[in-house]
Amino acid sequence: MSELGHEVLAAVLQVRSRSLQVLLWRRAREPQVGRWSLPGGQLGATEDIEASVRRQLAEKVDVRQLSHVEQLAVFSAPDRVPGDRVIASTFLALVRSDNDPVIPDDTSWFPIDALPDTAFDHQAVVLRARDRLRSKLSYTNVGFALAAPEFTVSALRDVYSAALGYRVSATNLQRVLSRRGQLEPTGETVPPGPSGGRPAALFRFARASIQITDPFAVFRPPATTPPPAPPSPPTESASRA
């Protein structure tokens, strides 16, 4: 009977060019050579799984500037990879939008809504990571791990909009996060753009570690007003009047 293999995988997410993107590397050997996969590898005999995923991200794709890492899920379908059975402990890892890690030539960022052909069950891992992030944006301060250390409200709105997949109101975002005590002003401003206007205030997150802020609040797409119903046909009595 073959031994059970155990690998660790990381879905490294970052807001780039106003879209939520994931870091993938192209497989250089079989099985599924040439397909894009999540960085990771076999769990070392003397390391825990988080230490393993951090090591492999540093060694294989040279990503060290992680602003948040958390365990995502265990993927254990018997046929998830060809050959001997291998279970995967997966992680969600975030990189701030102001960082631009230098990555190897066989590695690239891809928008999550336009993924290439991925290896094994890695697309399912990516989508699970995206959904976890969207959920945690609703009830934690995890936005600190996506935004730059200092930002304008409009820049933060763009980060949240990219991560959530719909356009967020800057005014509503500032109101919600300020009410939860997540934002604090830096006292600095940025110069107005070419069109003029008032200088925009700079903010930062009050805390740069994960914290539950409101377990009941959820950011949702704005409600749309349903079109008016067509007029009802006249009743028999009305038509005879």
Report how many domains make up the chain: 2
Task: Write out the residue range of the structural domain in which residue 174 sits.
Answer: 140-205
Residues 190 and 130 in one domain: no
25 touches 60 (CB < 8 A): yes
Residue 147, domain CATH? 1.10.10.10
Residues 200 and 111 in one domain: no
38-86: per-residue pLDDT in tens? Answer: 999 999 889 999 999 999 999 988 899 999 999 999 999 999 999 999 9
pLDDT at 136: 95
Residues 88 and 118 in one domain: yes
Q: Kindly state the helix (H) or strand (E) to which residue 125 belongs, with its residue range.
A: helix 122-139
pTM for this structure?
0.87
Residue 229 in domain: no
pLDDT grade for 218, boundaries at 50, 70 and 90: low
Nearby residues of 33 by Cβ (< 8 Å), 6 or more positions away: 27
Residue 56 in domain: yes
Residue 94, domain CATH? 3.90.79.10
On the 0-12 / 13-18 / 19+ scale of CB atoms within 10 A, 136 is: buried
135-176: per-residue pLDDT in tens? Answer: 999 999 999 999 999 999 999 999 999 999 999 999 999 999
Residues 131 and 147 in one domain: no
Query: Residue 173 and residue 96: Cα distance in Å, rounded?
Result: 19
Residues 108 and 144 in one domain: no
Residue 225 in domain: no
Residue 106 in domain: yes
89 touches 60 (CB < 8 A): no
Residue 40 in domain: yes
Residue 224 has pLDDT above 50, yes or no: no
166 touches 221 (CB < 8 A): yes
Residues 10 and 122 in one domain: yes
- The CB density around residue 163, as the number of other CB atoms within 10 Å, is 26
Q: How many helices (H) and strands (E) does the chain have?
A: 5, 9
